[in-house]
Amino acid sequence: MAEDDSPASAPDLGTVLAETRRRLAGAGIGEAALDARLIVEHFSGTRRIDALRDPALGLDALTVGRIEDAVGRRLAGMPVHRILGYREFYGLRLDLSPETLEPRPDTETLVEAMLPDLAGIAARKGACSILDLGTGTGAVALALLSALPQARASGVDLSAGAVKTATENAGRLGLDGRFTAFVSDWYRDVIGVFDAIVSNPPYITTVEMRALPVEVAGHDPHLALDGGPDGLDAYRVIAAGAGGHLDREGLVGVEIGSRQKADVAAVFAAQGLRLRSVARDLGGHDRALVFGF
For the bound state, the minimum distance from the C-beta of residue 74 to ligand SAM, rounded and expressed in Å, comes to: 22
- The Cβ-side half-sphere exposure at 200, using a 13 Å CA radius, reads 26
55 annotated ligand binder: no
Residue 115, burial from CB neighbour count under 10 angstroms (0-12, 13-18, 19+): middle
Among positions 223-252, residues that touch ligand SAM (CB under 6 A) are 223-224
Going along 82-185, which residue ranges are E strands? Answer: 86-89, 92-95, 128-133, 151-157, 179-183
Query: Would you count residue 139 as binding ligand SAM (CB under 6 A)?
Result: yes
Secondary structure of residue 114 in the 3-state scheme: helix
Give 64 or 204: the residue with its C-beta nearer to ligand SAM.
204
Stretch that binds ligand SAM, among 15-23, 46-54, 120-128, 150-158 (CB under 6 A): 150-158
What CA–CA distance (Å, rounded) separates 203 from 222? 11
Among 129, 154, 159, 165, binds ligand SAM (CB under 6 A): 159
Q: Where are the beta strands (DSSP E) in 97-190?
A: 128-133, 151-157, 179-183
Judged by beta carbon, residue 10 or residue 115, the one nearer ligand SAM is: 115
The smaller minimum CB distance to ligand SAM, of residues 27 and 207, is found at: 207
- 181 is a contact residue toward ligand SAM (CB under 6 A): no
11 is in an annotated binding site: no
Q: Is 186 in the site for ligand SAM (CB under 6 A)?
A: yes
Angle between helices 108-125 and 139-147 (to 10 degrees): 40
Contacting residues toward ligand SAM, per CB under 6 A = 101, 103, 107, 134-137, 139-140, 156-159, 162, 185-186, 200-202, 223-224
